[in-house]
Structure 1
Amino acid sequence: MLRKVVLIVTIAYFIWITSFLVFGTDDTDTKQSLSLEEIAITKFDDEFDNEFKEFNNNSRSKLIIHDEKVNLKYCGKKTCNFMFPYFIPEQETRANLHLRSLTFLAESLNRIMVLPNVGNSRMDCCMKFSFEFYYDLEKMKKMFPKVKFMTQQTFKEWTEELLIKPDALHTWFIEDGRNDSYSIRDHNQMAVEPGVRYEKNLLSKLCVNQFDLKISDYKEFHTGIGHVNDFEYKMFNFFTENLKDIKSPVILIRNRSRRQMFPLIEEPIPFASHILNQANEIRNKLQPYYCIHWRMEQGIPQKMPNCASELIKMINDLKTTEGINNIYLATDYPISGGNAASNTFYGVGKYHKLAIQMLNSTFDINTWISLNALKEFRNNEYYDSEFKNSGIHGILDKLICIQSDYFISGSRDCCRLLSTYTKLIGEARKNLIDSGDTRIRNTITRWKRPSK
């Protein structure tokens, strides 16, 4: 019996000792053990994080030093601040006006103004050719001595050389009250509000994705529908107040407003020397000469032949009174065989064709095509797209008309009367007359409106 008791006690003691060795003494010791492990892991993480942060800080410092050198290279300072109007509305004559008025904003914000590419009479970062294909950048710098300029290509190179992607604010200028697809966004008064974030496909369509930027914010600026006295100056002040404290190195501007938003600068941006030289060569070859500007867009198609008849009568009369025989024709009709020389002239038809045939069968008509103008570009495949639509030849036509001895344009029903292009030619000719150029015989004369 005693042996059984001893055996039972021995077994119980063995079980108790085993449980102690295996499971420990109590829950408190177990928790303390795990807590020490957590502390050790946390300490390791902290040390790793500190080393990682130190590594990152050193690395970022090197990136900043590199980018400061890039900024010094492109901007002359360790920081760069740009204003890039990457889309300008309307064709060259009006786009020229919009861009030069934007220099007011660039100056007030103390930002370098990036000049968009050009092509087909447009200013747009999607275009193929550098700003200097149309304009003289050095003369533009003298025209705006307080503003620094940079071409789109140079700006693009800046974004690519930076190691830290530059932050950008995207702004969208919206003209309210146009009754177009944007009318849902109309405001009664000038306003600024958060803009819609652009998806990758839209940025690609607008060609903004070619620049290595991080667009962090979007804002919309609205002109408002109502009439405001001194609108341009008030709008200019409104933009300045809302953009002057922006810290982003880049302000992108998508301008959808055809309305004059900033103070008007009368003097156009000077054209490139290769265009001016070609215009002077043609002027010297033809003078004395008439320049006819016939913008058929918005004319009544069925009246085009009668319009041509009235023009022919007028030239025959002028030959007697003015003694001028040479004729130069500037027109949006597709004389090169491609598309019309206007991106908004779609309805070229049989009546337009008949009117041009009537002119050609009556007179020896000179054009940029017949005179083989701009041949160094026309014979280069790289520039083919420029001559299949409106483009550099439209600028050439304008300069030739300004310098003509006698300038003729169309009447109501025959053409687009409210043309900034035609108005600019007339104003430039008036300035020449006022300055004492006796070769210029008139500002503008319109042929008779057809009776039927």
Structure 2
Amino acid sequence: PCRFLLPLRIAEQESKARIHLLEIIQTAKRLDRILVLPRAGKSRLGLCFRWSFEAYYDEDLLQTVLQQEGVRAVTQEAFKHWLDSSPSERLTRGQLVSLASKAKSDSTGTVIFGDDNGLTVSVDTKPIQTQDPRLPGCFRDRFGMLLSGDFIPLSIYPSLLLSKSLKRQAIGEEFVSIFGREDIRNASRSRVSPDDEPEVLMLDWDMRHPIYSQPFIGSITYSPLLEHLAGKVSSPSSPYLMIHWRMESVSPDVLPDCAHALVDTISDLLLTSELGEGVQKVWFAGDYPVPISNHLYPPSSDRAPITTTIQNKSGTFRDFGEKHREAVDILVDAFREGAELDRWSITDLAAELLRMENGEVLDVHPDFMTDSGALGILDKMIGMNAAIFVGGSKRCGRTR
């Protein structure tokens, strides 16, 4: 019979979620289940996002690696088609399994397994409903048929003692062994034999660190579409300097001083260093949500941006204000006529995408070009090809 591992939610934003997905791939292999690849959107991975997996990642290359490693995987679209075309007599039942780095405050489990040194397993006595907050919002309409009541949800998290060493201690093998334990199987079956297996394990992954002692042998690379766009936008034939400044969690009061220090650093690199030879353009990237053209040109200018829409590049950067604007103004002013960096132009992804849209037809859905995850990946890929890369210091920028 076909048995699947269906990720519902995967913790953290794209770059870290991608690492978590590699851990989920290892889990699917150890449990001998077919992995349902998550969807993508807003720099997240999970069940309900707008874009298919291949919008962010190279699915064909990943499938090749997975086949070599004996892991089977299907897209969510293929899995949904399989469900919808299943004969009525074929059972397809799901069991919700949550793996978290700590116990959730709303846990309702009353049957607890575990000790002080390992993982705790809470068998949830609250029946799962189609509009249950434990499930993503799109679940009822798309996958409600998986809820049979035969399998009781499991919530798995480290003991208090283990949680203190979770970053260093691998828990993957213990996690996988839970699914074969007789005591837990007895407690988590309703109306069915303890030997019965759910056809679909519905996984809520809320970890912050890898759970296996060895990483998965393969990697997940970005999609050919994004590779193509990054190459088109950055014009790699001419070298450029990339500034990557993440302002989130930095005290706003220090940002103007940081901007002055950044200008000094760029001046040293471009004016007094051989590194800057041939560089004509400076890219500005990071989590700052306002296009650089809003700072370069006044609203009355014919070069003013068509839109002043804020583009959120981070799902967690919310405390954005005047000090952030002031810091970027200081940076931009250094590139104005008569200023110390006026031999170079400063640009960003929003400006270059607008230039491309005006000059050629992009075969990309326009909404995809406003997706925070796609924009973040493009910034990252463009940064990897930069002749010079300047990141934020510990005092001035978020470094992790």
- TM-score using structure 2 length: 0.76
The structure with the larger Rg is: 1
Considering only aligned residues, what root-mean-square deviation do their CA atoms show, in Å? 2.8
Between 258-267 and 101-110, the greater mean CA deviation after superposition? 258-267
Between 190-199 and 291-300, the greater mean CA deviation after superposition? 190-199
Distance in 2 between residues matched to 1:339 and 1:117, nearest whole Å: 21
Between 335-344 and 261-270, the greater mean CA deviation after superposition? 261-270
Alignment partner for residue 279 of structure 1, among 225, 230, 234? 230
What is the identity, as a one-letter code, of the residue corresponding to 1:222? Y
The higher relative CO (CA closer than 8 Å, separation ≥ 6) is in: 2
Q: Is the 8 A contact 2:97 2:154 kept in 1?
A: yes
Alignment partner for residue 83 of structure 2, among 117, 135, 159? 159
Q: Is the 8 A contact 1:299 1:412 kept in 2?
A: no
Q: Does 1:358 align with 2:330?
A: yes
2:352 is matched with which residue?
371
What is the identity, as a one-letter code, of the residue corresponding to 1:86? L
Q: Does 1:342 align with 2:320?
A: no
Alignment partner for residue 409 of structure 1, among 386, 391, 399? 391
Between 228-237 and 246-255, the greater mean CA deviation after superposition? 228-237
The change in CA–CA distance for 1:232 and 1:247 in structure 2 (over 3 A counts) is farther
Output one character per residue of 1:193-221: Cα deviation in whole Å (capped at 9) or x when no partner: 31243333226644222113134321111
Unaligned runs of 5+ in 2: 181-194, 292-308, 336-344
The change in CA–CA distance for 1:272 and 1:343 in structure 2 (over 3 A counts) is same
2:375 is matched with which residue?
393
Q: Secondary structure at the match of 2:352?
A: coil
The change in CA–CA distance for 1:222 and 1:391 in structure 2 (over 3 A counts) is same
Distance in 2 between residues matched to 1:183 and 1:192, nearest whole Å: 11
Q: Is the 8 A contact 2:119 2:162 kept in 1?
A: no
Output one character per residue of 1:208-239: Cα deviation in whole Å (capped at 9) or x when no partner: 22113134321111133324889888522122
Distance in 1 between residues matched to 2:389 and 2:217, nearest whole Å: 21
Q: Does 1:302 align with 2:253?
A: yes
Distance in 2 between residues matched to 1:181 and 1:259, nearest whole Å: 20
Unaligned runs of 5+ in 1: 1-78, 420-452
2:178 is matched with which residue?
242
2:202 is matched with which residue?
252
**Pairwise CA distance, 1:379:** 6.9
1:124-273 paired onto structure 2 within 5 Å: 124-145=46-67, 146-162=70-86, 163=88, 164-176=90-102, 181=105, 188=116, 189-195=118-124, 196-202=126-132, 205-209=136-140, 210-211=142-143, 212-215=145-148, 216-217=150-151, 218-227=153-162, 234-244=170-180, 247-262=197-212, 263-265=214-216, 268-273=219-224
What is the identity, as a one-letter code, of the residue corresponding to 1:176? K
Q: Is the 8 A contact 1:159 1:165 kept in 2?
A: no
What is the identity, as a one-letter code, of the residue corresponding to 1:312? V
The change in CA–CA distance for 1:267 and 1:345 in structure 2 (over 3 A counts) is farther
Q: Secondary structure at the match of 1:220?
A: strand
The change in CA–CA distance for 1:261 and 1:156 in structure 2 (over 3 A counts) is same
- Which structure: greater helix fraction? 1
Output one character per residue of 1:374-416: Cα deviation in whole Å (capped at 9) or x when no partner: 85679745x26x61x6220101111111121111111233221
Q: Does 1:332 align with 2:287?
A: yes
2:304 is matched with which residue?
none
